[in-house]
Structure 1
Amino acid sequence: MNYRHSFHAGNFADLVKHALMLWLLRTRQAAGPVVVLDTHAGAGLYDLTGDATRSREAEAGVERLMATAERPPLIEALASEVATLNPGGGVRFYPGSPVLVARRLGADDAYVGFELREEVAGLLRESLTGFARVRGEIGDGYDLVRAEARRTKAPLVLIDPPFERPDDYLRAADTAAAIVTADPGAIVAIWTPLKDLETFDGFLRRLAAGTKAPTLVAEARLRPLTNPMKMNGCAMVVVNPPAGADAAAAEICGWVARTLGDAGAKGEVWRV
């Protein structure tokens, strides 16, 4: 399955990922200055009149979000960021994790995002222009984030691969485990699609084998996991979740599933 950011920007999975990342960032900032590391940063900011028109997933995601009157606080926090980027109304621009984080950084915080494709890395750097204490780097985020984490105390790490490569699940699990093993104060959030239970369970087993740290699994299932070629839902797996993470994830995943999913859709939050 191809999950290149620009084709799927603003879909339901982005809403789950970005709403929870905003909460994690705010919570981590309450404990002191934080460095956010992003393995697969993408372009940083997306024009939904571009590649996203081919999938039309933003219509069923962020456009419905912005048209809905009843939004719980953690969903409202994301909607507020989207509205700020579209001052004339509508939803033309959608922020990726780099811009969302950069807009929320404190004076002593920092962000480093990695992007493998040179042309996308250029867009990433352009989107971060004007923000202080941020960097966009070209290279393999799995390897580079480990090196950056070794130089950083208690980072907040987002692992969000496009799942274009057959080893993405393995490398995501191994990278998260390595970071948390080296620094028990690190928080690592891993986004994954939900296609079938066998693939997802294998990922969780690999992660659990690499670390004994507490791990939260937040799922938004929009349809039954019966078609492994289709993204039937998504999950955010958070290693070393801060206090309050279960309730925050339940609010976000529950709203997305109820509002955007098929009949029988559900949000679930549990611990490994």
Structure 2
Amino acid sequence: MNYRHSFHAGNFADILKHALLLWLVQARQAVGPVTVIDTHAGAGLYDLSGDGARSREAEAGVERLMASRDRPPLIEALASEVAAINPGGGTALYPGSPILVARRLRSEDRYLGFEMNPPVLGLLEQALETWPTAQAIGGDGYDQAVVAANAVRAPLVLIDPPFERPDDYVRSADTAAAIVRADRAATVAIWTPLKDLETFDGFIRRIEGAKVGPALVAEARLRPLTNPMKMNGCALVIVNPPKGAEAAARVVCDWVANILGEQGARAEVWSA
């Protein structure tokens, strides 16, 4: 599965991931300064009217988000960010995790976004130039995230690979384990698609086998997991979750499944 940020920007998976990311940033800021480390940052800002978003998945994601009424506060937080970068209305632009985090940074906070693709790195640098405490860095986000996490106290790490490589599941789990072993106060959130249960179960077993502490699994299944060639849902696996993460995850996952899912969609939040 090739999950390029630009191709899928603003889809249902982004809604789940980014709503929970905003909550995680807020939760960590409540206890002190935070450094957010993003292993696969992407371009930071996406033009949903351009060729890069030609999959049109945003129509069933952010467009329905912005058209929805009675949004719970955790969903409203993301909707407010989308509205802020589209002052004329609409959803022409969608903020990736770098912009969402950068807009929430205080003077004592930092954001480090890693990106391997040179043209995309250039776009990320442009997107972040307004925020002096946000930095775009070229290179392998898996390896560099471990180094960066070791240099700070209690980082919040987002692992969000494109799943272009067959080892992305293994490297995601192993990177999370390395970071939390080095700093038990670190929190690592790993996004993963849900295609089939066998692949996902293997990933969860690897997380559990690392024995690095509690992990919260927040799933939204938009359709039955019967076609492994399609992204039938997604999950955010949070290693060493902050207090209140389970309640936040239930709100977000329930909303995504109920509002953006097909008939029979469901949410599951559980501890691994």
Distance in 1, Cα, partners of 2:99 & 2:134: 10
Deviation for aligned residue 1:215: 0.3
Structure 1 runs (4+) deviating above 6 angstroms are none
Deviation for aligned residue 1:209: 1.2
Distance in 2, Cα, partners of 1:234 & 1:180: 23
Distance in 2, Cα, partners of 1:54 & 1:69: 27
Distance in 2, Cα, partners of 1:138 & 1:147: 14
State how 1:240-251 maps to structure 2 within 5 Å: 240-251=240-251
Equivalent in the alignment of 1:231? 231
Distance in 2, Cα, partners of 1:192 & 1:107: 31
Distance in 1, Cα, partners of 2:205 & 2:140: 24
Distance in 1, Cα, partners of 2:50 & 2:13: 19
Deviation for aligned residue 1:69: 1.2
Distance in 2, Cα, partners of 1:206 & 1:69: 39
Equivalent in the alignment of 1:127? 127
Q: TM (normalized to structure 1)?
A: 0.99
1:74 partnered with 2:74 = yes
Distance in 2, Cα, partners of 1:152 & 1:185: 11
Deviation for aligned residue 1:54: 1.7
State how 1:46-125 maps to structure 2 within 5 Å: 46-125=46-125
Deviation for aligned residue 1:166: 0.3
Equivalent in the alignment of 2:24? 24
Which amino acid is the alignment partner of residue 74 of structure 2?
L
Equivalent in the alignment of 2:178? 178
Q: TM (normalized to structure 2)?
A: 0.99
Which amino acid is the alignment partner of residue 236 of structure 1?
L
| Secondary structure at 1:217 match in 2 | strand
Equivalent in the alignment of 1:191? 191
Count the aligned residue pairs: 272
| Secondary structure at 2:269 match in 1 | strand
Is this contact kept in 1: 2:115–2:121, CA < 8 A? Answer: yes
| Secondary structure at 2:90 match in 1 | coil
1:255 partnered with 2:230 = no
State how 1:36-55 maps to structure 2 within 5 Å: 36-55=36-55
Which amino acid is the alignment partner of residue 22 of structure 1?
L
Is this contact kept in 2: 1:52–1:58, CA < 8 A? Answer: no
Unaligned runs of 5+ in 1: none
Equivalent in the alignment of 1:266? 266
Is this contact kept in 1: 2:39–2:161, CA < 8 A? Answer: yes
Is this contact kept in 2: 1:6–1:51, CA < 8 A? Answer: no
Unaligned runs of 5+ in 2: none
Is this contact kept in 2: 1:181–1:211, CA < 8 A? Answer: no
Distance in 2, Cα, partners of 1:87 & 1:187: 33
Distance in 1, Cα, partners of 2:115 & 2:51: 18
Encode CA deviations 1:108-135: one digit per residue, 9 max, x unaligned: 0000000010110000000001102111
Deviation for aligned residue 1:52: 4.5
Is this contact kept in 2: 1:149–1:155, CA < 8 A? Answer: yes
| Secondary structure at 1:270 match in 2 | strand
Deviation for aligned residue 1:150: 0.8
